[in-house]
Structure 1
Amino acid sequence: MTLFAARGPLGPEPAGRLSVDIPDDVVLIEPHPRRVQAIHQGRKVIDTERVLLVHRRNRPLTYAFPADEVAGIAGEPLPEAPDHLVVPWDAVDTWLEEGRRLVHYPPNPYHRVDCRPTTRHLRVEIAGSRLVDTRETIILFETALEPRLYVAPHLVRTDLLRRTETTSYCSYKGVATYWAAIIDDTTVEDVAWSYDDPPPESSPIEGYFSFDPSRVDMHAELPSSTGDRSTRHRVPPSSS
């Protein structure tokens, strides 16, 4: 996703600029020297290290495989490399890359997550109640995305939070658990999220909380390129 997503160099809102215009239909195809396996109905239909990664604008990152490496499952020829096939993600039951099970899309070699302990200030309030007010934070830098602050549970009014049924998945941070704030008669859904079992590159934020600025009153001290983020969110008298 990274090159062609969000603030990536070929994304819809690039952080930088190119010295020449790039066509909207540009495609990047590159070798991907990792072992990729696909399992369908209990058997391997792909097991190869001869993989191509295909990057397109406004499209998820995809694998392409030599036609002779795809056995017993349908694939579509890749116009830019006709001897290769693109297998739809949902055409198999399980995708593995170097033994790691994948969800939704291949991990991107250009995507990086960097978690750094910091003294950047984070203050979060809802309906007049303060959930967080600390300079003991971790800042998470993630390629093509704006940085975010995370905070340890002991610095959060977790007595005002309740786990919700909402979840999401990120190849670089894992499965997110979401939390609602319950303050007197007011309930605001999914104000925060946390990762119970992140992959190694994101392990410093294991169990830490980050907050949705669109759902809370928040001041977050962010790098000068993005500026301090202060938001005011009007909470109805009762949104439960």
Structure 2
Amino acid sequence: MSLTTGTSPVGPRPAGRFNKPMPDSAGLFYLEPCRPRIRGQSGDVIVVDSTAASLLHEHGQLPVLYFPVDDVRTDLLEPNGTRAHSPGKGEATGLRLSVGDRVVQDAGWRFDQPEWDALAGLIAFYLPAMTQWWQEDEPMPGHARDPYHRIEVLDTSRRVRVLVEGRVLADTTRARALFESGLPTRWYIPPRDVDASLLADSATRTTCAYKGQARYVSMRVRPDQPDDKQPDLAWIYDEPLPDAARVAGYVCFWNERVDLEIDGEPVPRPVTEFLGGPTPLLGLLPPAMLERPRPAD
């Protein structure tokens, strides 16, 4: 996501400056080869198997995998009767996937007469259309990984305090700062420096392609409501992916939903188009939503 979202160079809110006028990012596409072998399967049937996939980068969007039609079991696909126009790409034809008794109505799309000829002969899928995706021989969590995305975790002795309505939820000088492409700095706090009496486990679970699966924590701010109705304020990666291994078990509060102080100075709440938390496992979207921002890190 580092090229196209958040504060990235061609994202909605670039953090830096260019020395020359740049073209309008909205409607700008960049298609490049995807290096790993990518496979998608439905049940025990391999629907797509490609060493020639491409990644489409687009302003305000997560990267999307496109596959050559020769690498796809097109005998398992048929038009689903849905069509939607995508500016700069053309009219998308929605595809239905049928594998045995499993039928996915909105499985993917193709551009039969694309406005941009680079998309000719390519098919894209919504991730939940498959029961499993693979990069080489490893499961692919969340969305397709962006080759330009970077995570760095650093120990910090800066004092980090987290408050909600004046109540201190966490106070530490032993945080770990997670710097991630295009996103606000996230402050991961050891559990012993968090007031657990104000927190409750949440049923929310999300998946990040770079950090793994997170479980969420809510705050008991409404005494008359049960724990499962309280707002989610933080997340924890119990078994993160290798890039985020050093934040395992640490608590990270949503900068957007709490008051954060660093060395006594309040930190403005960031504005993120994707809520600012770990990437939700993408839901099945109809082709009409092709151009809308999807959840991301």
TM over 0.5: yes
Q: Please, what TM-score do these two structures have when normalized by structure 1?
A: 0.83
Partner of 1:81, secondary structure, is helix
Residue 202 of structure 1: aligned partner: 244
Aligned residues of 2:176 and 2:189 also touching (Cα < 8 A): yes
The alignment covers a number of residue pairs equal to 227
Distance 1:103 1:219, change over 3 A: same
For residues 230 and 45 of structure 1, the distance between their equivalents in structure 2, rounded to whole angstroms, comes to 46
Residue 28 of structure 1: aligned partner: 30
Partner of 1:110, secondary structure, is coil
Distance 1:168 1:220, change over 3 A: farther
Partner of 1:105, secondary structure, is coil
Residue 81 of structure 1: aligned partner: 118
Distance 1:103 1:84, change over 3 A: farther
Match of 1:119 among 145, 149, 157: 157
Partner of 2:7, secondary structure, is coil
Distance 1:28 1:128, change over 3 A: closer
Distance 1:215 1:76, change over 3 A: closer
Distance 1:185 1:41, change over 3 A: closer
Indicate the larger mover: 2-11 or 20-29: 20-29
Aligned residues of 1:124 and 1:133 also touching (Cα < 8 A): yes
Q: Are positions 1:180 and 2:180 aligned together?
A: no
Letter aligned with residue 95 of structure 1: W
Residue 211 of structure 1: aligned partner: 253
Structure with the bigger RCO (C-alpha within 8 Å, sep 6+) is: 2
Q: Please, what TM-score do these two structures have when normalized by structure 2?
A: 0.68
TM superposition shift of 1:172:
1.2
Indicate the larger mover: 43-52 or 175-184: 175-184
For residues 224 and 161 of structure 2, the distance between their equivalents in structure 1, rounded to whole angstroms, comes to 20
Q: CA RMSD in A?
A: 2.6
Q: Describe the superposition over 1:175-204 as per-residue Cα deviations: whole angstroms up to 9, x where unpaired.
A: 221112237948752122111121000011
TM superposition shift of 1:212:
2.5
Q: Point out where structure 1 has 5 or more consecutive residues left out of the alignment.
A: 232-240
For residues 107 and 63 of structure 1, the distance between their equivalents in structure 2, rounded to whole angstroms, comes to 10
Residue 234 of structure 1: aligned partner: none
Residue 170 of structure 1: aligned partner: 208
